[in-house]
Amino acid sequence: MNMREKINRIVQKIENARITVSEHHIVKFIAVSKYSTTSDIRDVFNIGHRAFGENKVQDYIKKRDELDDIPIEWHFIGNLQKNKINKIIENKPFLLHSLDSLELAEALNSRLEANGIFLNALIQVNSSKEDSKSGFMSEETNEMYMAIKEKCPNIKLKGLMSIGALSDDEKKIKESFEITKRLFDDLKCENATICSMGMSRDYELAIKCGSNLLRIGSEIFS
């Protein structure tokens, strides 16, 4: 399959899944380019796709640099260490998906404030309670969302991000998505509009559980 065929197939799968939720349920996807070269990214861009995501600061900056001649909407989706905050601020993404502690939010906020800029971000939820994953426990998510909103005015919270349970049991994956969706619904009154969940192996299920932003890597780039 060539790149155009791969993208078309994904768009069709997304369309089929989202229509089962509602005609009005709009779903967007980010091409997660961490497995790919900048030349692959250009191919996908030339097909008409604009949103790309990286999960490592080093790769994010390198690829952004090499592609600064085209208007990509960059997303940062990986774990952010505090010593890399400046690099992210200098290369501000369209959206940071992975705010996973109050400490990180406060450190980020103070540098944003010092630079007089704002950053769109999502709170990461560890809805499957896996030790290997970052993110807030679901029980503390709403409280932390409110705390960050209050203490970090230069961070513009837009919603939640979560990675589905790492399991072959579809029920478990679904359960983890449903937990995130419920938390997201509770935050709609706080202007949360983005529910980022669903990767190559589970995005159709994620859509059916209410996701409106997918992060698709391997199905595009491998």
Ligand X SMILES: *Cc1c(COP(=O)(O)O)cnc(C)c1O
Span interacting with ligand X, options 99-107, 129-137, 151-159, 194-202, rule CB under 6 A: 194-202
Number of Cβ within 10 Å of residue 111's Cβ equals 17
Listing DSSP states for 50-80 in one string gives: -EEEESSHHHHHHHHHHTTTS--EEEE-S--
Structure tokens at 111: 């540098």
Q: Fill in the per-residue mask, 47 to 76: x = in contact with ligand X (CB under 6 A), - = not in contact.
A: --------x---------------------
**Pick from 78, 93, 135, 210: which binds ligand X (CB under 6 A)?**
78
The answer to the question of residue 32 lying near ligand X (CB under 6 A) is yes
Distance of closest approach, residue 13 Cβ to ligand X, in angstroms: 13
Number of Cβ within 10 Å of residue 39's Cβ equals 8
Nearer to ligand X, 147 or 166 (CB): 166
Q: CA-CA distances (angstroms) from residue 18 to 31, 84, 122, 185?
A: 18, 36, 22, 18
Span interacting with ligand X, options 11-19, 65-73, 148-156, 193-201, rule CB under 6 A: 193-201
Residue number closest to ligand X, CB atom:
217
What part of residues 129-188 is at the interface with ligand X (CB under 6 A)?
163
Nearer to ligand X, 10 or 108 (CB): 10
Distance, in Å, from the CA atom of 150 to the CA atom of 199, rounded to the nearest integer, reads 31
The site that binds ligand X (CB under 6 A) totals a number of residues, namely: 14
Pick from 154, 100, 91: nearest CA to 122: 100
Distance, in Å, from the CA atom of 149 to the CA atom of 109, rounded to the nearest integer, reads 10
Residues binding ligand X (CB under 6 A)? 32, 34, 55, 77-78, 163, 199-201, 215-219
